[in-house]
Structure 1
């Protein structure tokens, strides 16, 4: 394990006040750090002592590049070359900035897996109204029901100055993603030889703030609505998953429905949670693996280990390029490392240990969360024997023209069976990503599913 790097202005102060503010909200004096020594979302503004992590200067400007008619963003760092490449041969020199999962992948695929490391750019940012919400949340949002729900929460990032691991995880769960989005993307579960059949999806989600009849005075328990339509291959085409994601899933469990095009039937899908099988994933991902981690946190004890400086996937515009085919990305064992980009960033390290008496296929998870976006960038998953089993990578591609931190491609690698699942690819898709629209709650009802899934 690499050495821990603790923040003087956020982590140390916060840990010292856990007893005083056990449920979440911090003092007005602490919140005043936001926008001063801390960024508006709670990251350290300053760079690191070595100068290898720069100060945050507001993130990428909206004019850093262009969006073409198909919706693809240009790469503002296209001319940059790797500073160096980490391989199994030289990983010992860099182990202080690597996770156990990264080192396991280097050993598992010594001839092909590598990490090209580039200059770091703190490109993530968000609109002013998100910053304002985070500042207000800091002094008023609290965890309720043993940390399984939130009260007095608005928009995104309830705990920009987190005091424990669960608060960091809540920041990931509620992070800003544009309020609403529609996208076409592809998922694949390659065999060990790299062969794959692409599964095509159309996704749509709307956070409650973007629902037409949302009442801030009576927000209810729904955090966002989510709908996913399979459009190919033909054996799955027309199937639809619908989710009402609740803030407190212990008080009111996630509501999920599946529409089967073959049966022309809608049915409740309580299994789409925790370690239940995720649709069309060929057994390579469970429900709460999507988005690196999602859903109720109640089955784990969450420990805030500290901050580390880690090489994480970042500014992955090359991987999202319109000039690539899916066959360019997918390789045996892992995605094509020639298309990836890693940068040194500060991350929050959170360790989740399964509570006594609870059940999950992952007995322990270790999450590495980007301080600037609250996106989980890397995650290690351990089985009941304590063996490192699966390694997840989330390739961040901030939508700088819209000020949206965005997770593009994500991959979950199985170190035991040599397979993996990769999702979020949209390189060959013709429909552009759409953000910021307003939806009606009626679009996300079980009654509306059948018409959504007609082949």
Structure 2
């Protein structure tokens, strides 16, 4: 036992403020159970890198010396003039001008920093679509409690022996230093986006000059984070006993969501992602019918935030990090009317903001016998927030079929970088869908209001 204390005394010094704030003390055998001294020392060393070379969520702290800056804590406070939760965001970078544009004509000069999907859009719309590139601002941040739990997850998280799930992680990124593609996908599924969400937003499908919209009432509970602040003594209600396996942390719900269409009959989509005994169980229920002419495959329930479905249908390969131009700190598009923003084929390029950031590249190949309209998915995940920023979707013929954009920005009231809206382009038809529009509303999405109980009927 003395060896365990010798190895972990630095950890206790780091955790003390958060532990004291929660009035929780950790049993001496919790972190060390099932680990020998060498394994524990290795995990402690990896966890220590989150306060040295890496950010608290696992990104590289240092910039690239040219156009990616060092991470200096992110954007943790609202700008002057932002007075209340639910107020439309003030763009903290409204005075900045684009450094340059990437268009079809100069694409060869920047091709190595542009995803195949964006290249395809630039080449399909050479006269109207371009990437306005702005100075890179690493605005991603999270509350201190999320940082503390992410640190602990490096030490306590175990991957499932018989499935793609995991044990014991909660309240933070489960794999901030990922070793595999599926771990990076789990990080996206369990990313920090608050404890709950209430919103009303529009989803619009655009085909040429024709538009069709659904207005959604959105309620989401992120129980993976919600539960961490509602644990009370005795400690067994909050923390797992790794020797016996009796714990709520082996049976957790990452999120629950319910979207109810406003003024469209009974249409309701419910979704939740559970992990039971380390294995993934995803449930979905849908009631009612889509409006006439609506294409529900253009943005399916598993494509919310570009991927929110089950990870079990794909083989995931981690291809490492790349420096890419991705949508980041996008505030301006929310201030524009539909006629200005929603052009034929794509959003108005002048409404967007691209910055160079490092991303994790994850390649997902459909498993033999699995069913999905996409044979392959390639995701580009922001290293600072674990939000998917871009996605390339390949059809059954192996050809690039659709392109997804997550219009990321800092929700500084949380704080956290989330997707303000997601866009999915169908390359063959020229149609696209944008989900999450809140323009024209006095009150936008709220993270501070409790959400009613969401029930998902499942076997």
Shorter-chain TM band: 0.7 to 0.9
| 2:77 corresponds to | 62
Q: Which of the numbers 348, 366, 372 marks the counterpart of 2:360?
A: 348
| 2:64 corresponds to | 48
| 2:400 corresponds to | 388
Q: Distance in 2 between matches of 1:313 and 1:63?
A: 20
Aligned pairs, how many?
401
TM-score by length of 1: 0.82
Contact 2:268 2:287 in 1 (8 A): yes
Secondary structure of the residue that 1:398 maps to in structure 2?
Answer: strand
Q: Distance in 2 between matches of 1:59 and 1:330?
A: 31
| 2:455 corresponds to | 445
Q: Distance in 2 between matches of 1:284 and 1:250?
A: 32
| 1:165 corresponds to | 181
Contact 1:147 1:166 in 2 (8 A): no
Q: Distance in 2 between matches of 1:126 and 1:213?
A: 19
Residues 379 and 290 (structure 1), Cα distance of their counterparts in 2 relative to 1, 3 Å cut:
same
| 1:155 corresponds to | 171
1:255 equivalent to 2:286? Answer no
Contact 2:219 2:451 in 1 (8 A): no
Q: Distance in 1 between matches of 2:261 and 2:152?
A: 39
Q: Which of the numbers 259, 267, 270 marks the counterpart of 1:242?
A: 270
Contact 2:275 2:281 in 1 (8 A): no
| 2:144 corresponds to | 128
TM-fit CA distance, 1:30: 1.2
Q: Quick check: which one's helix share is greater?
A: 2
TM-fit CA distance, 1:286: 2.6
TM-fit CA distance, 1:238: 4.4
| 2:255 corresponds to | 224
Instruction: Render the CA deviation track for 1:58-94: whole Å, top value 9, x for unaligned.
Output: 0014043443666111101001010001110001000
Contact 1:249 1:296 in 2 (8 A): no
| 1:202 corresponds to | 217
Q: Distance in 1 between matches of 2:422 and 2:289?
A: 27
Q: Distance in 1 between matches of 2:360 and 2:180?
A: 10
- Equivalent residue runs for 1:44-443 within 5 Å: 44-49=60-65, 51-67=66-82, 71-191=87-207, 193-208=208-223, 209-210=225-226, 215-217=237-239, 218-219=248-249, 220-232=251-263, 236-247=264-275, 251=279, 253-260=281-288, 281-321=295-335, 324-439=336-451, 443=453
Structure 2: tracts of 5 or more residues without a match? 1-35, 232-236, 240-247
TM-fit CA distance, 1:287: 2.7
Q: Distance in 2 between matches of 1:173 and 1:249?
A: 17
TM-score by length of 2: 0.82
TM-fit CA distance, 1:146: 4.4
Structure 1: tracts of 5 or more residues without a match? 1-19, 263-278, 448-455
